[in-house]
Amino acid sequence: MDVNVQMQVAQMIASIQNSTMLAVAILIGSGALGTAIGFAILGGKFLEGAARQPEMIPQLQVKLFIVAGLLDAVAMIGVAIALLFTFANPFIKGLLVYLPTIAS
């Protein structure tokens, strides 16, 4: 393979990796921000409901923990997708399919 072709392939792979890392950062950041906002709203509504009806605190607390678990699950799914893009990047595998046509 020619040196110029190798440089082009290396530049394409670097470009894909840079774009992927930017997307991963946005994915993790938006997941963390969404979870933080969700927990803030959830905690505020729990305190509001507990202040209005103190006898309902046990039932509200159960629902609070269920929704908190779902909020955490959404963030963990985002982290899992980000890890997939980081370590098993499907875009680079797609580029490697075209590598023999670039070399010729």
Domain count, the chain: 1
In a domain, 94, yes or no: yes
In a domain, 62, yes or no: yes
In a domain, 23, yes or no: no
CATH number at residue 64: 1.20.20.10
- Tokens describing residue 90: 């499907």
Could you confirm whether 2 is annotated as catalytic? no
Residue in 56, 72, 84, 103 annotated catalytic: 72
Q: pLDDT digits over 29-58, tens only?
A: 999 999 999 999 999 999 999 999 999 999
Q: Rounded to an integer, what is the distance from CA 32 to the centroid of its chain? A: 9
In a domain, 5, yes or no: no
In a domain, 19, yes or no: no
In a domain, 104, yes or no: no
Q: How far apart are CA 79 and CA 65, in angstroms?
A: 21
Structural domain including 75 reads 34-99
**Identity (one letter) of the amino acid at 88?**
A
Phi/psi for 45 (5° steps) reads -70, -35
E strand or H helix that includes residue 104: none
In a domain, 51, yes or no: yes
Q: pLDDT digits over 59-74, tens only?
A: 999 999 999 999 999 8
Q: pLDDT digits over 88-103, tens only?
A: 888 888 887 777 666 5
